[in-house]
Chains A and B, each alone.
Chain A
Amino acid sequence: MSTAQLDRSVPVVADPAGGVLHRVARLRRTSPGRLQLILAGLVTLGLLTGLVAGLTAAAAATGTADLGNRAQPLLVEAETIYSALADADTTAAQAFLAGGLEPTELTRRYDDDLDRATTALTSAARRTPETGASADAIRQLSTDVSRYAALVASARANNRQGLPIGAAYLSSASALSRDSLQPQAQALFQAAQAEVDDGYGDARSSWWTALLVLLLVALLAALVLAQRHLSRLTHRTFNVPLLVATAVTLVLAVGVGGVLISQRAHLSEADTEGSWPVALLAETRIAALRERGDEALTLAARSGEGALEADFDETTSRLDKLLTDAAEVMPDGRTGSDVRSAARAHRAYVSAHDEVRKLDNGGNYDGAVALAIGPQTSRTFTGFTDDIDRALESRKDVFRNEIGAAGRGLGLLTVLGPLLALLICGLAVAGLRARLEEYR
């Protein structure tokens, strides 16, 4: 015995890895040694499973919460910033077209647009990390929005005094909006969309989940094999603690499976019924406002059809495609009928626009302006955007509900997963210690 100890101590110092392997190899040769190895294996697997179960649930819960509380709201805010700025630009141009003092409802609409844009900017800033493309876009937007508001204020003040320079201030403001503000808002919108896509990946935590499934399978297999080994060794059919441990492992596996499968199902609903249609509809609304802006600015420039009218045509075909896609994604229900109604309203608006262009091209500028900003066309256009708004709101609700459902159970799993794993380890120790003691 003492020589054996002496023999062993030398290689342990000289080569620890070789020593451990040597020791394991020696343990495998005796029955109690094998039991010790089995116990160590079970406990290690059990602890790992517990740890990974907790981490997986925590990662999935954080990812889901981030998606629901940050990424998706950021996307919605980016869209609000974009559409509010585009609408402000259009409204200012329309107020200018009207001639004389700006109509009250238009100035109010412009003020509301600017309020919406700045409010959305503030909350988007809170949801964005301090560095990165989104943060840069937000900073640039904040500076430019105040410059924009100052230019429009100068335009109004000059207009009130009857000075034609007001028109030049307005076109400077519009150039700032189109060349800087709207592209920045678009960049923010795209960054937010990428964050939503990443958010789904994070919420699914696929690597963690795969590891956890692997560990659960390994743990179950190890438990079954250990019991088979014990029943052969001891000629007792059942080892009660190990049997209970197997049952607990199964419960854990079913719990993990149930929670994660349900989470993934809700995430996928949130994506296909929420995020994706929201992104489609948001883009539709942006395109709609762009059309209206092109129309107003073409008339304000008073130079006939130019680049802006070409942009109108391009936007129209993009919008038609977006509406077709939206109708495909949302074929039935309230949203489906809203989308179909939006498509009809859009066609009505485009034919009114064609009439406006015909009047202007035919030399009837005043008639074209009257038709473009008159109540009939304004109602048609507002009806169109209202349809999109309604569809958008209902899809946002779907997203919120699905994300709420996806997060359910994950918190419980974060706590219960490790606890159950500890229980499994305890049971394994209890089951094997009784056998080990028989060798003392």
Chain B
Amino acid sequence: MRARVTLVAVAALSVLAAAGCSGDSSPLPGRPSASAPAPTGPAAAVDTSCNPRASLKPTGALPAPGKMPAGTYMAEIFKRGRLVLGTSQDTLLFSSRNPFTGKVEGFDVDMGRQIAQAIFGDPDKIQIKVIGYDKRVSSAVDGSVDIVADTMTANCARWKDVNFSTIYYDAGQKVLVSSASKARSINDLGGKKVCAAKGSTSYDNIAKVPAKPIAVDRPGFGDCLVAFQQNEVDAISTDDTILVGLAAQDPYAKVVGPRFTEEPYGMAMNNDHPEFTRFVNAVLARNRADGTWKATYERWLGDFGAAPQPPVAEYRD
């Protein structure tokens, strides 16, 4: 299976090298549409009211595992004995359930495990909680998870509700079609049904394509692949990284077209605890520098070529 993942993935995504991504537009339930992404039309696609890539700057040296400063959220997590990570279980390579072992694993899960390692000195002190794409913002806000690492795009609309870490992966939206399809990008899919997960930015982006494909939602991208295989939809459109994972499971699917969006991935956290965001950024900064990021990339995405330079950390303060 590994071999096939490699083959299909390489064929479908030879240009992936620089980035990765995934989408989620999840607004908070009950919140007025003011905080939702701006209105339709390609020009409105990007909310430029902020720099979504810029996060909070780490302060001071990273505390040693088990020695979290008193009164911080990290100390609270340490006292509880585990870090609660919100993610999905059907995004192959990023966070999916390994059918052989039943464990959820992938690039995103490893990001979470590295935070657990930094807090406890033990990456296994982590509880994986599967959340819907449309619950990624609200789960961080209501505190049901400590941190969300779930192919989640950092954007200005979400920055209003949560804090994002610095960018740990760069992705962009593409489209997956049947291997027999003549479509070369999403612009050739006018009037066709294109699937994306409910609450993902990808879903909103489909509606903004001028060719006017019909956006169809499913609970997750795995469900989109089921719909694709059952001929309920003609295509799936989301971040290239997710599509590669889907194409790897279906030899009759291919990923086509240029990226038509930019999706920088960040980990989302409750904005009541800025010290936790700074701590996570410090962990990310260390891991970029000491090669941990590169090793993680190679472990999950190495089949697509050599690891690129990790995304450069940007700070807003």
Q: Which residue of B130, B144, B219, B225 contacts A302 across the interface (Cβ within 8 Å)?
A: B130
Nearest A-chain residue to B135, judged by Cβ: A303
Give bound CA distance, A158 to B1, whole Å: 11
| Contact assessment for B249 and A164 in the assembled complex, using a CB-CB cutoff below 8 Å | yes
Interface string of A97-127 (1 = CB under 8 A from B): 1111000000000000000000000000000
Residue in B98, B99, B104, B223 with the greatest tally of chain A CB atoms within 10 Å: B99
Nearest CB of chain B from residue A367's CB, rounded to whole Å: 12
Given contacts A164-B90, A164-B92, A167-B222, contact A303 B129 (CB under 8 A): yes
Among A66-74, A168-176, A261-269, which stretch is in contact with chain B?
A168-176
Q: Are B102 and A99 in contact (CB under 8 A)?
A: yes
**A168 lies within 8 A of B220 (CB):** yes
Given A97-B102, A159-B99, A172-B226, decide whether A164 and B128 contact each other with a Cβ distance below 8 A: no
Residues of A within 8 A of B130 (CB): 301-303
A166 x B99 contact (CB < 8 A): yes
Contacts of B222 in A (CB 8 A): 164-165, 167-168, 171
CA–CA, A301 and B98, complex, Å: 14
Residue A304 is within 8 A (CB to CB) of chain B in the complex: yes
Known: A302-B128, A303-B130. A100 touches B226 (CB 8 A): no
> Is the Cβ of A363 less than 8 Å from the Cβ of B81?
yes
In the complex, A97→B129 CA distance in Å?
15
User: CB distance B81 to A164 under 8 Å?
Assistant: no
Q: Known contacts being A302-B129, A363-B84, A365-B127, is A165 close to B102, with CB within 8 Å?
A: no
Nearest-CB distance from A150 to chain B (Å)?
9
Interchain CA distance A154-B130 in the complex, whole Å? 23
Nearest-Cβ distance from residue A76 to partner chain B, whole angstroms? 35
B contacts with A, residue count (CB < 8 A): 33
Contacts of A172 in B (CB 8 A): 223, 226
A98 touches B102 (CB 8 A): yes
Tell me if B97 is interfacial: C-beta within 8 Å of chain A. yes
A163 interface contact, C-beta 8 A: yes
**A99 and B89 alpha carbons, distance in the complex (Å):** 13
Contact residues in B for A372 (Cβ distance below 8 Å): none
Residue of B84, B89, B92, B250 most packed against chain A (CB within 10 A)? B89
B101 at the interface (CB under 8 A from A): yes
In the complex, A165→B5 CA distance in Å?
A: 13
A3 contacts which chain B residues (CB < 8 A)?
Answer: none
Report A-chain residues with C-beta under 8 Å of the C-beta of B98. Answer: 162, 164
Contact of B285 with A by CB under 8 A = no
- Is B90 within 8 A of A168, CB to CB? yes
Using a Cβ–Cβ cut-off of 8 Å, how many residues does chain A contribute to the interface with B? 25
A97-B102, A99-B100, A302-B128 given as contacts; is B84 within 8 A of A165 (CB)?
no
CB neighbors of A among B237-284 (8 A): 246, 249-250
Question: For the complex, is B131 an interface residue (Cβ under 8 Å from A)?
Answer: yes
Q: Could you tell me the distance in whole angstroms from the C-beta of B124 to the nearest C-beta in chain A?
A: 11
B200 within 8 A of A: no
Least CB distance from B211 to A in Å reads 28
Bound Cα distance from A302 to B104, whole angstroms: 10
B249 touches A165 (CB 8 A): yes
Interface residues of A in 168-192 (CB under 8 A from B): 168-169, 171-172
Nearest to A173 among chain B residues (CB) is B226
Given contacts A172-B226, A363-B81, contact A164 B99 (CB under 8 A): yes
B216-236 CB mask vs A (1 if < 8 Å, else 0) is: 000110110110010000000
Among B92, B96, B225, B226, find the residue whose CB has the most chain A CB atoms closer than 10 A.
Answer: B226
Question: Does B82 reach chain A (CB closer than 8 Å)?
Answer: yes
Give Cα distance in the complex from A40 to B98, angstroms: 92
Is A78 on the interface with B (CB-CB < 8 A)?
no
Contact present for A163 and B226 (CB under 8 Å) = no
Pick from B1, B144, B249 the residue with the most CB of A within 10 Å. B249
A430 to chain B, nearest CB (A): 82
B48 to chain A, nearest CB (A): 34
A114 to B128, CA, bound (A): 33
Q: Could you say which of A97, A98, A99, A363 has the most chain B C-beta atoms within 10 Å of its C-beta?
A: A363
Chain B 81-139 residues near chain A, CB threshold 8 A: 81-82, 84, 89-90, 92, 96-104, 127-132
Residues of chain A lying within 8 A (CB to CB) of residue B128: 302, 365
The yes or no answer to A196 lying at the interface (CB within 8 A) is: no
Residues of B within 8 A of A163 (CB): 1, 99, 249
Residues of the B chain whose Cβ atoms lie less than 8 Å from the Cβ of A5: none
Neighbour of A162 across the interface among B100, B103, B225, CB < 8 A: B100
A100–B99 touching, CB < 8 Å:
yes
Question: How far is it, in angstroms, between the C-alpha of A171 and the C-alpha of B88 when the chains are bound?
Answer: 14
Q: Which residue of B lies closest to A302 (CB)?
A: B130
Q: A337-369, CB under 8 A of B: which get 1 and which 0?
A: 000000000000000000000000001010001
When chains A and B are docked, how far (Å) is the Cα of A303 from the Cα of B225? 21
CB-based nearest B residue for A160: B99
Q: Which residue of A lies closest to B248 (CB)?
A: A163
Q: Are B89 and A304 in contact (CB under 8 A)?
A: no
Asked whether, in the complex, the Cβ of B144 is within 8 Å of the Cβ of A167, the reply is: no
Residue of A nearest to B227 (CB): A172
A168: shortest Cβ distance to chain B, in Å? 3
B residues 1-52 touching A (CB-CB < 8 Å) = 1
Collect the chain B residues with CB atoms within 8 Å of residue A166's CB: 99
| Given contact pairs A165-B246, A168-B222, A365-B128, a sample of 11 additional A-B residue pairs in the complex whose CB atoms are under 8 Å apart | A100-B99, A164-B90, A164-B97, A165-B226, A167-B90, A168-B226, A171-B219, A302-B89, A302-B104, A363-B127, A369-B102
List the 3 closest A-B pairs by CB distance, nearest first. Answer: A99-B102, A168-B222, A363-B127
12 CB-based A-B contacts, threshold 8 Å: A158-B99, A158-B249, A161-B1, A162-B1, A163-B1, A163-B99, A164-B90, A164-B222, A165-B90, A165-B225, A167-B97, A363-B84
Chain B interface residues toward A at CB < 8 A? 1, 81-82, 84, 89-90, 92, 96-104, 127-132, 144, 219-220, 222-223, 225-226, 229, 246, 249-250
